Amino acid sequence: MRYQTHFLNEKTDNYIRTIEFRHPKKIPLSVSIMPATWKKYGETIEKIVLDHPTLFPDYKKGDFKNYTYFWAYEKGQHTDTWGIVWNNIEEGLDSQPVEELAPLRKWEFLDNYTPPNPLTDDWGNPNEKINWEIRKKTLEEIKTKGNLAGGGLPHGFIYMWHYYLRGFSNFMLDVADRDPRLDIINKMIIDYNTTLVNKWIEIGVESMYFGDDMGLQRSLPISLNDWRHYIKPAYKKILGTCKDAGVISYLHSDGCIIDIIDDLIECGLNVINPQFRANGLKNLAKFKGKICINQDMDRQLFPFATTSQLKDHFKEVIDTLYLPEGGLMIYTEIEQDVPLKNVDTIFNLLEEIEKIT
């Protein structure tokens, strides 16, 4: 693996041991507080954060006032480098693609469509070109601190990108009809992402973050056979590229993805970040020991839970998925609908996990 070429600090070493089932000292914990949550609660939630330095060791008083929104979290309409139009009605939460303005909503648009150049056009900052030398220098600086040098691709990079381009309804019909023109879009998406992954590898990346919400609340939006026909080959190509280069691959995917986790493991995935309620703990337990699970705790519970329900939830996840060999991380996301009392309770529970493992 690529990370073996430099010093690793204690936290990074523990993280990698967890992924590789080499008896980590602790369960890795991570917390994400959404921009909308900071906007709503401000200094009130900041006080809770400052009371939990174990979870937020780098946070300093007033930091939230200096945060800048990623363009997709800004209110209004935005057009990205692919020509996809995004609409945001709630600043601090993510935008949604506008289906009726999808750049390839009509097949005749495909003839004159040119995708962005993955090596120069920066999806994350459409007004600037990518400076790979700066990215390379950043990766080198990360390594000198003993951390894992990570890169990533835009969220929705494979499955979701198909309906970003065609519109969701069109894409569902395309899949049902096995429209051969969909293969052209599919290749376009694979080529774009493969070029980016190879460039990240060239400049020294050690781990790659991917995000692609492939599930609905109770199932995949397309059949398993269709997923294997259209989507799996792209994952096999991209995850296989990472594996061959000794790069750790991490995938976040919302919704019910239980039917495809085995396929993703087969493709070479190292870490899966699945939602709790959409997949079910008993179903996720089937993959205990087979792949590292960064368990997304139940965001659909957090707004309404009592203290005892939160305690039971965290205990159930640990009791079900924990192995002393590793393979379990805990991810907690705080949306703006979570009461502050529950935020404090969640942070206390996470600190208890930190102490006992």
Average pLDDT over residues 111-136: 96
Measured CA distances, 333 to 32, 79, 132 (Å): 5, 27, 31
Average pLDDT over residues 120-131: 94
Evaluate whether 342 touches 298 at the Cβ level (below 8 Å): no
Per the structure block, which two tokens stand in for 102?
């999808």
Using the predicted structure, report yes or no on whether residue 321 has a pLDDT greater than 80.
yes
Per the structure block, which two tokens stand in for 290?
């087979």
pLDDT for position 2: 85
CATH architecture for residues 2-356: Alpha-Beta Barrel (3.20)
Average pLDDT over residues 93-112: 98
* pTM assigned to the model: 0.96
Exposure of 269 by Cβ count < 10 A (0-12 exposed, 13-18 middle, 19+ buried)?
Answer: buried
Share the mean pLDDT of the chain: 97
Distance linking the first and last C-alpha atoms of the chain: 26
Per the structure block, which two tokens stand in for 89?
């009605």
Q: What is the pLDDT of residues 213-249, one digit of tens each?
A: 999 999 999 999 999 999 999 999 999 999 999 999 9
Q: What is the pLDDT of residues 174-196, one digit of tens each?
A: 999 999 999 999 999 999 999 99
pLDDT for position 217: 97
Q: What is the pLDDT of residues 249-277, one digit of tens each?
A: 999 999 999 999 999 999 999 999 999 99
pLDDT for position 58: 94
Per the structure block, which two tokens stand in for 257?
């993805």
Using the predicted structure, report yes or no on whether residue 143 has a pLDDT greater than 80.
yes
User: HSE on the CB side for 306, CA within 13 Å?
Assistant: 3
Using the predicted structure, report yes or no on whether residue 150 has a pLDDT greater than 90.
yes
In three-state secondary structure terms, 175 is: helix
Average pLDDT over residues 103-116: 98
Evaluate whether 255 touches 213 at the Cβ level (below 8 Å): yes
User: HSE on the CB side for 15, CA within 13 Å?
Assistant: 17
Q: What is the pLDDT of residues 59-101, one digit of tens each?
A: 999 999 999 889 999 999 999 999 999 999 999 999 999 999 9
The pair phi, psi for residue 338, each rounded to 5°, is -90, 120
Q: How many Cβ atoms from other residues are within 10 Å of residue 10's Cβ? A: 10
Split at pLDDT 50, 70, 90, the class of 357 is: low
Residues in the chain: 357
Average pLDDT over residues 7-29: 97
Domain boundaries, given as residue ranges, for the chain: 2-356
Average pLDDT over residues 93-121: 98
Helix H or strand E segment including 314? helix 307-321
Split at pLDDT 50, 70, 90, the class of 4 is: confident
pLDDT for position 1: 86
Which residues in 256-316 belong to E strands, given as ranges? 271-274, 292-296
pLDDT for position 206: 98
Rounded distance between C-alpha atoms, residue 60 and residue 74, angstroms: 24
pLDDT for position 151: 98
Average pLDDT over residues 139-151: 97
Q: pLDDT above 70 covers what percent of the chain?
A: 99
Average pLDDT over residues 270-286: 98
Exposure of 168 by Cβ count < 10 A (0-12 exposed, 13-18 middle, 19+ buried)?
Answer: middle
